[in-house]
Structure 1
Amino acid sequence: MDITKRFDRLLGIYFYLQSKPLVKAQDLADKYEVSLRTIYRDIKALEHAGVPIMGEAGYGYSLMHTYKIQPINFTEQEALSFGVAEKLMEHYLDKEIGQHFTNALLKMKGVLRFTDKENVADLESKVLINKEKHFLNENVPAALATLFESMVKRKQIHLKYKSVESNSQERNIEVIGVFQEGQFWYFMAYCHLRHEVRQFRLDRIEEIRLIDLKHTQEFLPLQTYLSSNKKEELLETVRIWVSKDMSRYLHWERQFYGFKTEEEKDNGVEMLFHTSQLEHFARWFMMFADEAIIYEPQRLKDSVHHILQNAIGTFEDYALSQKNGGSIPKPRK
């Protein structure tokens, strides 16, 4: 077992050296969770195997500039894309899949020209991805990897899942496919608890494990189920007018609320949406309501009016409570 681990580590170090212009021994020790002494021994082993490594302990190691794998070549633009790709995948993938992607990318970086390695290393230090949004449940670091494995092996998954409407429930599922929409990862699966195909969200998984039971169902392509889901939703047409100044700030979020078309009209922009979540739309609309008008539907107007009345009532209750020295009142509903 130790021999296998060392072989894998030596192979990993080999590809790591090919992927960067200079590698410090401490970075390798941290990456593979071993001592510096072990890294020094590994470097010596690679040298004895004929790998042309330059450098020394305390400074760093690199391969000879002329040493690279043939015949694969990448353009400068393709090489630079590696630097951004790894940052994005660290953000969007779970820990296990992210590590597999990093290892694969290291092998790809290994065939780059020396100047391209320097450019990629420089670019990586200048690209940061905001990690405040959690697409995945960090307590389940291998969720995405488990879903992928289940699809490849056609094996069932035992899942502990917490939906918005109910407490955690355990069930066996057969995964059909995985997709990202809006700000979250989702997956479609046949649920043995409900005996139907259902949609799940990755960040609501509390426990997940592959079990030794084969799929019992034959599935159509994922897109078929996604299209079917959208047809089953009762979509309502929403038409609003927004001032020109405000409309430019909505481009990034409106796609999450069913945006379809826009047209300049009356010194502003008329927008058309199709949505099945009027309540969510109403609360989003409140962010720019002082520079917008709802044309239709009436239910959306009523919803916004109701939210505004409750907000004003809650504020008045709070002001009165503070005046009388009372506690914070409960929000009106």
Structure 2
Amino acid sequence: MSNDERRVNRTERLFATILLLQNRPNMTSRDLAEHFGVSRRTIFRDLRALSESGVPLTYAEGGGYEILEGYQLPPLMLTAREAATLLVGTEFMKLQSDASLREDADAVALKIRSVLPREIREYIDRLRDRTVLDPYWLHAVQQEEEEEGRWYRLSEAVARQRAVIMEYYVESRDELTRRRVDPLGLVYYTDHWNLIAFDHLREDIRNFRLDRIRSMHVLMERFEWPEGFDLARHLEERGAGTASRRITLRFSKRAYRRARQAIPARIEEERPCGDEIEVTFYFENLDYVAGWLLRYGAEAYVVEPAPLRERVLALAEAMTERYRTAETGEKA
């Protein structure tokens, strides 16, 4: 273990000691040594360091250490692991297409870094230099200026229950529609954000992709929250609703390790099937699933429904024909 790693581990142990003594006072040095798996000499050094840093440690009459009542940790005290988790979170936000989210993520990361102890700050800096979530994505996240800040404005509309007027592109009909909606929540699916909202045009709760909103305006007018509405329950019910289809797929074990994390719905059942894994879930958009399955090639197979199998076959045949046509054209 390097000196830097030892310093980080000690810092984490010091934080943990404060929390432990606040919740379980009167612990002896032997108790603390057994809890952390270190020697009593190490515990004595830790306690001395805490006292020197201003933590009001006392030794109780009944034996054992405690911290005077009323002492609170500073507002932001993070272990290296917690700081690393926040780092991954801010790096994920930098993959968003909305430029304002990327700028906010940078600002948050800078503020967190500025209040970390030196040992953890250096650890985080090394981790940042050696962590890349997606080396190619940033080349594709170019967004038009008028779309910047859309996620934040919609999140405010959700929190403040403000109605929204928007122009929304319906891809299936190649049509631009005007909608008045009551925003109820934001959901992230695989690679894009979605707005869950009550659509006054359809008089129903619908899903709208943020990247298909062409323009929008948040009204000052408040809407009434639907009685008994719960976003998580709505999404679960929608996944198994009447519009959804039961989908059963088979993957090679190697492909399933990748595919499992990207399945666009809650997994209802998964079971081994010889050298393959069979998985069942409910989803309404068969075209989306068909396109998604192509990335796994011959290592994925549609068991049901038949219309999904037909869509995958049609896509594969279209790809084959395109390559065949291109090859024939080159030879000609």
Report how far residue 107 of structure 1 moved: 4.0
Q: Which structure 2 residues correspond to residues 163-174 of structure 1 after superposition, within 5 A?
A: 163-165=170-172, 166-174=174-182
Amino acid at match of 2:241: E
Match of 1:230 in 2: 239
Q: Choose which of 195, 220, 234 in structure 2 pairs with 1:212.
A: 220
Report how far residue 286 of structure 1 moved: 4.5
Counterparts in 2 of 1:169 and 1:111: CA distance versus 1, 3 Å:
same
Q: Which structure 2 residues correspond to residues 127-146 of structure 1 after superposition, within 5 A?
A: 127-130=131-134, 132=137, 137-139=143-145, 140-146=147-153
2:208 is aligned with 1:200: yes
Per-residue CA distance 1:37-76 (angstroms, 9 max, x = gap): xxxxxxxxxxxxxxxxxxxxxxxxxxxxx9xxx7343223
Q: Which structure 2 residues correspond to residues 114-133 of structure 1 after superposition, within 5 A?
A: 114-130=118-134, 132=137
- RMSD over aligned CA atoms reads 3.7
Q: Give the fraction of aligned pairs with identical amino acids, expressed as a percent.
A: 19
For the 8 Å contact 1:83–1:121, the answer to whether it is kept is: no
Which sections of structure 2, spanning at least 5 residues, go unmatched?
Answer: 1-52, 54-72
Counterparts in 2 of 1:317 and 1:156: CA distance versus 1, 3 Å:
same
Report how far residue 204 of structure 1 moved: 1.5
Q: Choose which of 148, 153, 166 in structure 2 pairs with 1:159.
A: 166
Q: 2:97 and 2:209 mapped to 1: Cα distance? A: 14
Q: Give the alignment's TM-score, normalised by structure 2.
A: 0.61
Q: 2:144 and 2:301 mapped to 1: Cα distance? A: 41
Q: 2:301 and 2:160 mapped to 1: Cα distance? A: 53
Counterparts in 2 of 1:196 and 1:115: CA distance versus 1, 3 Å:
same
Match of 1:16 in 2: none
Q: 2:283 and 2:164 mapped to 1: Cα distance? A: 32
Report how far residue 128 of structure 1 moved: 2.8
Report how far residue 273 of structure 1 moved: 4.0
For the 8 Å contact 1:135–1:183, the answer to whether it is kept is: no
For the 8 Å contact 1:174–1:191, the answer to whether it is kept is: yes
Which sections of structure 1, spanning at least 5 residues, go unmatched?
Answer: 1-65, 326-333
Amino acid at match of 1:226: L
Which protein, 1 or 2, shows the higher relative CO under an 8 Å CA cutoff with sep ≥ 6? 1
Match of 1:76 in 2: 80
Match of 1:270 in 2: 278
Q: 2:82 and 2:124 mapped to 1: Cα distance? A: 10
Amino acid at match of 1:191: D
Counterparts in 2 of 1:319 and 1:230: CA distance versus 1, 3 Å:
same
Report how far residue 292 of structure 1 moved: 5.2
For the 8 Å contact 1:80–1:116, the answer to whether it is kept is: no
What is the number of residues matched between the two proteins? Answer: 256
Q: Which structure 2 residues correspond to residues 81-92 of structure 1 after superposition, within 5 A?
A: 81-92=85-96
Report how far residue 188 of structure 1 moved: 1.2
For the 8 Å contact 2:91–2:133, the answer to whether it is kept is: yes
For the 8 Å contact 1:137–1:203, the answer to whether it is kept is: no
For the 8 Å contact 1:137–1:202, the answer to whether it is kept is: no
Report how far residue 315 of structure 1 moved: 5.5
Q: Give the alignment's TM-score, normalised by structure 1.
A: 0.61
Q: Choose which of 186, 192, 201 in structure 2 pairs with 1:178.
A: 186
Counterparts in 2 of 1:136 and 1:216: CA distance versus 1, 3 Å:
farther
Q: 1:310 and 1:79 mapped to 2: Cα distance? A: 48
